[in-house]
Amino acid sequence: MNPAFTLFMWARGPAFDVALAIFAAGITLRLVEMVVLGRKTDLAPAKGHPIRQGLATIFTRSIPRPGLVRFAPGTYLGGYVFHLGFFAAFLLFAPHIALIRDALGLSWPAANRAIVESATALAVVAAIILFFSRVMDPVRRALTGFEDYLVLLLSVLPLVTGYVAANKLFGNPEMMLAVHVLSVDALLIVFPFTKLMHSVSFVFSRYYNGAIQGRKGAES
Amino acid sequence: MTASLERGLNALREQIDAPVASFFTSCVHCGLCAEACVFYRETEDPRYIPIRKLDPMRRLWRREFTLFGRIGAMLGLVRPVTDADLGEWETLVYDSCTLCGRCTLVCPVGNDITLMIRKMREGMSAAGHTPKELIGAAVRHVETNSLMGNLAPALRAQVKRSVAETGIDIGFDQPGVDYMVILSAQETMDYPEILSSMARIFKKAGISWTIASDGFEATNVGVQIGSRDIARILVARVVEAAERLGVKGVVSPECGHAYQALRWEGPNLMGRAFNFEVVHIVELLDRLRAEGKLPTKGMESRRVTFHDPCQINRRGGIDREPRRLMALVASDFVETDDAGAMNWCCGGGGGVGANERATKLRLTAFKRKKAQLEKVNPDKLITMCAYCHHTIEEAMEEYHMEIEVQGLTDFVATYLDDEPAGA
């Protein structure tokens, strides 16, 4: 049997199932150990609307404060483009939508191939900018450790391998597809153990921030 | 040493709750909090990155509050927090943070970094890593009636002077009046004109008020040092006096952390809601304005700007009230860049101003305020915190800046129309 095909079937079969199980169980564990710590009832009478503002802040915090972007343009721009590009490539590419439809029964229209590929390329460029800001910029460098580079690498691999596989740029296409799926498996596995958790926990942290400020009638 | 480290770690453990866990879980190490921090911005020293100031607390959380961190600790991958760590972090947590709250507003994942610094100070103080001036102030306040020592004679003298000046009586310990007024030590000692201003405004508005001889000090060094025990003892004096006198409300004065201490932390420190209202003097003035009980005559025609105290606006939610009052009495009012919720800190709050070894850093941080002011070039700066007032005046002295500074209540009172009718 074709070894590339065997690898591909393993990557999207048993390996993917294990990765998904670690991903789901890990996230559940991390969220449970966070939420069980609880939070004391605030006895100060509210001036504003804590719950409403907490919920609103989950969305409004996606927009930067005016005047700040120019102080860390690489981080802001790189961050936006990477997130948007990553999710466009993930969620708007027709074969991905077909996979999700088969698994969950949910589906939505795919984007034009050129849009998906541009988004992918832009996300990769953004990741390179983010990498260089971690190496060059003193603030980013002071905060960066092994995990940050690992997460950046593992987040960009599915984009690069997916692009190569979809365009049959080089190598055995089946092998490239297998590598692509393996990179996704790896991303799923490290997710609960690393700062990738922010893509779930941000809902909580933004809510708390908004609720704490909202109780006081202060901005958030 | 071990005993106090253990106490410190225990205090930190008590502070770790679901919000803190969500904040540490969400941090992506983007460093955008640094751009918001006045200490980082004016020094460009990466040690002052706000989230980095929490590193010991983050490590404790990882090691003890997450399963993966516990496994990592067993494998020796996550270092334990040592007394030396806390010692090293003391200057970061106390000297280079005024709890101003700008980082909390810019963090893309919504981390309330300022709240966590406030929490981390609980551990630092329990471990014995607190600036000596703050400890001194706490001891003085617990043993007497103010962080400056016994201020009762000085306050009585200031009240007597005010009564002579305005002819309006100010009574001590009067039960059943509308409001009990408390003052910050800074006002009692440096800006006593607030007494006459309040006396005139309240008389015109028909408000009765009193000062409690055993609960007049509004400041609360327990909140700055990070000691709930001390904070509770100090806030209890005000709460018990207000309850004993049966007042409708307590007027929190022009002091940032005093407002936090009584209005937002107070009920939580006491473990119960109060049966009186806590209102900031500027909220009260704005209410009187809306009710038509704050008639004014004339306006300041020179160029005036406003400084938002962090604890009152950004972390206190009082933003529009002062602006409505400014509109009443200033004809040439100009806002600085970043005014309002994103205003830059004076650099002296959160105990930094009292901390001698932080003086140089505080004056460096003030350069941001200086730049903000120079851009609008005002004749006068109005604020609503006596400690901002003091910090700004002192720093302007250092930088040879000639801008008059005045408290908002006093500024409004200057234009109060309280001439008797027909006079």
pLDDT tens profile A87-120: 999 999 999 999 999 999 999 999 999 999 999 9
Residue B187 sits in the same domain as residue B267: yes
Predicted local distance difference test score (pLDDT) of residue B78: 87
The two three-digit tokens of residue A47, written as one number: 């001036």
Expressed as residue numbers, the domain containing B385 is 292-414
Is residue B43 less than 8 Å (CB to CB) from chain A?
A: no
Predicted local distance difference test score (pLDDT) of residue A170: 85
Task: State how far Cα B29 lies from the chain centre.
Answer: 28
Is residue B315 less than 8 Å (CB to CB) from chain A?
A: yes
**CA closest to A138 among chain B residues:** B46
Predicted local distance difference test score (pLDDT) of residue B1: 41
Please give the backbone phi and psi of residue B251, each rounded to the nearest 5 degrees, phi first.
-90, 115
CA atoms within 13 A on the CB side of B28: 23
Mean pLDDT of A28-41: 97
Q: What is the CATH number of the domain that holds B254?
A: 1.20.1050
Domain membership flag for residue B422: no
H helices of B260-316, in order, are 266-270, 281-290
pLDDT at B33 over 70: yes
Mean pLDDT of A164-190: 94
**Rounded percentage of chain B residues whose pLDDT exceeds 90:** 97
Is residue B30 less than 8 Å (CB to CB) from chain A?
A: yes
Mean pLDDT of B354-381: 98
Strand (E) positions, B9-111? none
Is residue A117 less than 8 Å (CB to CB) from chain B?
A: no
Residue B247 sits in the same domain as residue B281: yes
Q: What is the CATH number of the domain that holds B354?
A: 3.40.50
Q: A9-18, A118-127, A162-171, A176-185 — which is least confidently predicted?
A: A162-171
Q: How many domains does chain A have?
A: 1
Task: Spell out which residues of chain A touch residue B267, defining contact as CB-CB under 8 Å.
Answer: 43-45
Q: What is the DSSP string of A125-185?
A: HHHHHHHHHHHH-HHHHHH--HHHHHHHHHHHHHHHHHHHHHHT-SS-HHHHHHHHHHHHH
Domain membership flag for residue A77: yes
**Rounded percentage of chain A residues whose pLDDT exceeds 90:** 93
Q: What is the CATH number of the domain that holds B24?
A: 1.10.1060
Domain membership flag for residue A179: yes
- CB atoms A218 and B316 under 8 Å: yes
Q: What is the CATH number of the domain that holds A130?
A: 1.20.950
Cα A202 to Cα A206: distance, rounded to the nearest angstrom:
6
Which residues on neighbouring strands pair with residue B416, listed in sequence order?
A: B296
Quick one: pLDDT band at residue B2, thresholds 50, 70, 90? very low
Expressed as residue numbers, the domain containing A145 is 3-30+44-215
Residue B216 sits in the same domain as residue B95: no
Domain membership flag for residue B333: yes
Placement of tokens 């002071």 in the chain: A142
Placement of tokens 């399963």 in the chain: B67
- CB atoms B105 and A219 under 8 Å: yes
**Residue A109 region, left (φ>0) first, then alpha (ψ -120 to 50), else beta?**
beta
Mean pLDDT of B187-197: 97
The two three-digit tokens of residue A217, written as one number: 């009638």
Predicted local distance difference test score (pLDDT) of residue A66: 85
CA terminus-to-terminus distance, chain B? 71
Residue B6 sits in the same domain as residue B93: yes
**CA closest to B29 among chain A residues:** A143
Strand (E) positions, B269-385? 277-280, 300-307, 330-333, 380-383
Residue B204 sits in the same domain as residue B250: yes
Cα B422 to Cα B170: distance, rounded to the nearest angstrom:
26
Is residue A80 less than 8 Å (CB to CB) from chain B?
A: no
B230 Cβ partners below 8 Å, 6+ apart? B138, B141, B142, B221, B222
Predicted local distance difference test score (pLDDT) of residue A67: 84
Residue B93 sits in the same domain as residue B224: no
Q: What is the DSSP letter of A68?
A: -
Residue B252 sits in the same domain as residue B159: yes
- CB atoms B52 and A43 under 8 Å: no
Three-class secondary structure of residue B307 per DSSP:
strand
pLDDT at B77 over 50: yes
Mean pLDDT of A59-71: 92
The two three-digit tokens of residue B270, written as one number: 């006491």
Tens-place pLDDT, residues B115-161: 999 999 999 999 999 999 999 999 999 999 999 999 999 999 999 99
Domain membership flag for residue B325: yes
Domain membership flag for residue B103: yes
Residue B297 sits in the same domain as residue B260: no
Predicted local distance difference test score (pLDDT) of residue B423: 46
> Considering B65, B99, B130, which residue would you say is the last residue of a domain?
B130
Count of C-beta atoms within a 10 Å radius of residue A74: 16
CA terminus-to-terminus distance, chain A? 59
Please give the backbone phi and psi of residue B399, each rounded to the nearest 5 degrees, phi first.
-100, 10
Contact A92, A123 (CB under 8 A): no
**CA closest to B313 among chain A residues:** A218
Cα B143 to Cα B131: distance, rounded to the nearest angstrom:
19
Please state the pTM of the whole predicted model. 0.96
Residue B170 sits in the same domain as residue B62: no
The two three-digit tokens of residue A22, written as one number: 């670690």
Cα B30 to Cα A19: distance, rounded to the nearest angstrom:
27
Measured between CB atoms, which of B267, B268, B317 is closest to A218? Answer: B317
Contact B224, B215 (CB under 8 A): no
Predicted local distance difference test score (pLDDT) of residue B421: 59
Predicted local distance difference test score (pLDDT) of residue B3: 56
Contact B169, B207 (CB under 8 A): no
The two three-digit tokens of residue B294, written as one number: 């704050």
Contact B46, A141 (CB under 8 A): yes
Domain membership flag for residue A36: no
Question: Mean pLDDT in chain A?
Answer: 96
Tens-place pLDDT, residues A113-169: 999 999 999 999 999 999 999 999 999 999 999 999 999 999 999 999 999 999 988
Residue B157 sits in the same domain as residue B74: no
Q: Between these two residues, A66 and B98, which has the higher pLDDT value?
A: B98
Residue B185 sits in the same domain as residue B125: no
B98 Cβ partners below 8 Å, 6+ apart? B38, B310, B345, B346, B347, B348, B349, B350, B352
Assembly ipTM = 0.96
Q: How many domains does chain B have?
A: 3
Which of these, A49, A124, A132, lies nearest to A88 by C-alpha position?
A: A124
Domain membership flag for residue B171: yes
pLDDT at B325 over 90: yes
Domain membership flag for residue B228: yes
Mean pLDDT of B274-291: 98
Domain membership flag for residue B23: yes
Sequence letter at residue B293: K
Question: Mean pLDDT in chain B?
Answer: 96
Please give the backbone phi and psi of residue A94, each rounded to the nearest 5 degrees, phi first.
-50, -50
Count of C-beta atoms within a 10 Å radius of residue A66: 8
Task: Spell out which residues of chain A touch residue B266, defining contact as CB-CB under 8 Å.
Answer: 44
Tens-place pLDDT, residues B329-366: 999 999 999 999 999 999 999 999 999 999 999 999 99
B354 Cβ partners below 8 Å, 6+ apart? B131, B133, B134, B137, B224
Domain membership flag for residue B63: yes
